[in-house]
Amino acid sequence: MKAKKIICLVSMCGLLMGCGLNQEQEASAEDPKMLDVKLNGPSEVGKNETVIFEAVVTYGNEKVEDADDVQFEIEKENAEGQGDMIKAKHRKGGIYEVATDFQEPGIYTVQSHVTAKDSHNMPKIRIEVK
C-alpha cells in the first residue's frame, strides 16, 4: 500500500514538472518584440540646404518593410503645434526617409511618427539651421 502511494506521488511530481517545462518553452517562444526606430539626421544645416532625415525601423531583429504609416514632423522651437507633417518614402532595409530644406535659421525639432506591427514609436532629434 505504501509503495503504491510513493509511486503515485512520484508520477504526479513528474507530470507536474513536465507541464512546467512546456509552459516555460511556450513563454519563451512568445517573447514580445519591440518596435524600434532610430532617427538619423544632421545636427546642423545651412539655410536653404536640402537635408535628408531617415528612420531605421526594426521589430525585434527584423527590418520592417511594411510599416503602416511613417511621417516626419518638423517644427521650429517655440512654435508648438505649427509644424509640418511630411510622409516618408520607403527605401529597402527598413529605412524610411524625407528630404526637406529650412527657410529660416533657428532650432528645429524633427520627430518621426512610426506605426507598424500594432505599435507606435516617436523618437525626435534637434537640428540647428544657420
pLDDT < 50 stretches in the chain: 27
Taking the C-alpha atoms of residue 86 and residue 79, their distance in angstroms, rounded to an integer, is 17
* 105: Cβ contacts below 8 Å, ≥ 6 apart: 47, 129, 130
What residues form DSSP beta bridges with 95?
A: 56
Asked whether the whole model's pTM tops 0.85, one would answer no
Q: What is the pLDDT of residue 106?
A: 96
4: left (phi over 0), alpha (psi -120 to 50) or beta: alpha
Q: Assess contact for 22 and 108: CB atoms under 8 A.
A: no
Q: What is the pLDDT of residue 69?
A: 98
Distances (CA, A) of 71 to 1, 9, 18, 30, 111: 73, 61, 49, 30, 8
Q: What is the pLDDT of residue 1?
A: 56
Number of other residues whose CB lies within 10 A of the CB of residue 108 = 20
